[in-house]
Amino acid sequence: MFASLVVAMGIALGACAERTPTGLGKTQTIPSAVPTSTPSASVPTPVPALTRAPQATKPPASSEILPFTIDAIREYLASQLTLPAEQVTLSNWQPVEWRDACLGVHKPKEMCLDVITPGFTLKFQTGATTTMVNTDATAKNFRLAQEPESPGPLPALSWIRTGGFAGVCQNLSVYSTGSYWLRDCKTDVVLAQGVLPEEQQTYLSELFKRYGSFEWKPMPSANSADMFIDQIRFYGTGSQMMPAEEQQKLNEYLAKLAGGLAGANPGASGIAGQVFIGPTCGGPVKAGSTECADKPYQATIMVLDSTGQLVTQFTTDAEGRFNVPLQPGAYTLHPESNGKLPAAADQNITVLSGQLLMVTITYDSGMR
């Protein structure tokens, strides 16, 4: 009798033992790289934290291992498609790093925060219909993507400097094509953009091929005079881990590069932005649908001074983007048109000294 009671208690305790929950695989922690040189006792050298950037993995078919629930997204899709929620199923998903806070889906006249945003792209099936949804890392923020959308041209590296007595905030993004953007993080003003000289492209290209991805954010020394905090996001394709000394060298190089780019055209002023056209289809549109959203549009824009005289004219790129230097003053932007439609209204603008004015121009396609 007593022996049977002991056995029964053992079985009950085993049943109550803690179970390991299912979830995403644990992130492998890579040890911080430690400089080989011995730091001075008076000026301690910060040890940069070195971690692998998230890597895209082959998406499992099951939705149970996502780090969030999809109930809210499923219910939203069901309401848009007038279907029961149980008929909306997640068939696939994949981790993504979006190039900005708009999650790969850009709305007309929308300014997106220029920050790499980790998230997911989800594929839902409703019978024979496929719907793509882009989310952030929590899925509390999500957007519908009518077609599977690429994250876009992510920068090969991103360098950010904040702090200092003047409270600066600069963000330098360099792309694999050799092009770059240098922005003021606080005002979202483009300080410089273009293509790096061949010598600088060669140096960075060699680093990308040799070293793998990492993030680096050292804390400033207590004795630092400027108290800057720098951060590097490096998206290399190599197999080696960049040593701490090389990281420090890269940070100094990028700081010098950003300073040179910002000072290459001191006091520069002008306009930058994008041209759109819409609507892109006729008839009624379901609420929340992106099917008929405005699209980027290549156009020619005339720039007139306050007396109506032509100052310059420019043609946007294939994505409707433009960046045009102008002297400080008042101007009228006149979008050209080959006929009555598509057409866009004139815009009166004022360009200030040392600043790029962000402008959005939208053509009316005439579709209703």
51 in any annotated domain: no
163 and 255 together in one domain = yes
101 in any annotated domain: yes
300 in any annotated domain: yes
Quick one: tokens of 181?
Answer: 């953007």
One-letter amino acid for residue 278 of the chain: G
Residue at a domain's end among 208, 235, 263: 263
231 contacts 217 by C-beta, under 8 angstroms: yes
Residue 298 burial class via C-beta count within 10 angstroms: exposed 0-12, middle 13-18, buried 19 and up: middle
126 and 162 together in one domain = no
57 in any annotated domain: no
N- to C-terminal Cα separation, the chain: 85
Three-state DSSP at 106 gives: coil
| Alpha-carbon torsion, ordered 182, 184, 189, 191, to 10 deg | -40
Helix (H) or strand (E) holding 198: helix 198-210
162 and 184 together in one domain = yes
88 and 164 together in one domain = no
Residue at a domain's end among 120, 145, 170: 145
Q: What pLDDT is recorded for position 362?
A: 92
247 in any annotated domain: yes
pLDDT, averaged in runs of 10, over the chain (368 residues):
46 42 35 36 39 40 60 84 80 81 74 77 78 87 64 71 76 82 74 81 91 81 63 89 92 88 65 85 64 84 91 85 84 90 92 79 86
Nearest to 204 by CA among 161, 159, 151, 152: 159
133 and 213 together in one domain = no
331 contacts 349 by C-beta, under 8 angstroms: yes
103 and 193 together in one domain = no
Edge-to-edge strand ranges of the sheet holding 179-184: 189-195, 179-184, 168-174, 157-163, 228-237, 212-216
Residue with tokens 């007309």: 108
Three-state DSSP at 163 gives: strand
Sequence-separated (6 or more) residues with CB below 8 Å from residue 15: none
Q: What pLDDT is recorded for position 269?
A: 75
The size of the chain, in residues, is 368
Nearest to 162 by CA among 153, 150, 170, 151: 170
Q: How many CB atoms lie within 10 A of CB 351?
A: 20
102 and 121 together in one domain = yes
40 in any annotated domain: no
Indicate the DSSP class of residue 322: E
297 in any annotated domain: yes
Nearest to 349 by CA among 289, 271, 291: 271
227 in any annotated domain: yes
242 and 278 together in one domain = no
φ/ψ of 99, rounded to 5, equals -75, -15
Residue at a domain's end among 110, 145, 180: 145
Three-state DSSP at 145 gives: strand
247 and 275 together in one domain = no
180 contacts 264 by C-beta, under 8 angstroms: no
243 and 278 together in one domain = no
Q: How many domains does the chain have?
A: 3
φ/ψ of 200, rounded to 5, equals -70, -40
Query: Against a cut of 0.85, is the pTM above it?
Result: no
Give the domain extent around 123: 71-145
Beta bridge partners of 184: 170, 189
